[in-house]
Amino acid sequence: MDKVTTYRGSHRSISFEIKRFDDYRGNKKWTFYLYLKELQFSKEVFKKLWLKPRWYTFGGKKTIVYDYCKCDIINAIDFHGGCTWYSKEAGYDKESKCVKVGCDYSHLYDDIYIYSENILEFDAKRAIDSLYIAVPDIKKWCWHCGDYGIEGYVEPRNDGNYICSQCWEKVDKKNE
């Protein structure tokens, strides 16, 4: 059997996921992904991220592909060797949408390096920073009330999670 280990975190209110794949021979493969939620982006920006499907037939089976290489926002994200993963993670039954984009560390030259979750965490955070350069007005999520917004959001614990000013006031008063 193969083993998959998942690490999860958040940076500047964007969730990321790191995966390590250990195959039965002991080979390791690494990937990381960013979760881009519809509620965190303007309508115009998310429209660009929600790609149109393209169908093609491979081995008698119909397969869906997304031309994520043509999306200027995904291209602006500093992925290791470029984006190699795009999937739609939510948006069924009129639920708000979410796109998962990511990259892998299975390139030819990757064999020489020894990766770790700390290296991938650093890279995932750097990828999020590059996304913020392309799209500066990403809405933060308040872990207290669940609202999304830009103004007045603070990161009290430096752990990638934010709280809105109204909730921060309440939490602050409770602590007095």
Residues in the chain: 176
Give the residue with the Cβ less far from Zn ion, 115 or 168: 168
Whole-number minimum distance, CB 142 to Zn ion, in Å?
A: 3
Give the residue with the Cβ less far from Zn ion, 124 or 164: 164
The token duo for 126 is 């750097």
Among the listed residues 76, 157, 79, 72, the one whose alpha carbon sits nearest the alpha carbon of residue 124: 79
CA atoms within 13 A on the CB side of 72: 7
Q: Are strands 85-90 and 98-104 parallel, antiparallel or unpaired?
A: antiparallel
Give the residue with the Cβ less far from Zn ion, 74 or 167: 167
Whole-number minimum distance, CB 145 to Zn ion, in Å?
A: 3
Whole-number minimum distance, CB 38 to Zn ion, in Å?
A: 19
Give the residue with the Cβ less far from Zn ion, 125 or 139: 139
Chain center to CA of 113: 24
Q: By the criterion CB under 5 A, which residues form the site for Zn ion?
A: 142, 144-145, 164, 167
Give the residue with the Cβ less far from Zn ion, 85 or 168: 168
Whole-number minimum distance, CB 46 to Zn ion, in Å?
A: 22
Whole-number minimum distance, CB 37 to Zn ion, in Å?
A: 16
Among the listed residues 141, 142, 36, the one whose alpha carbon sits nearest the alpha carbon of residue 97: 36
Q: Say what the alpha-carbon torsion angle 57, 62, 64, 70 is, to the nearest 10 degrees.
A: 10
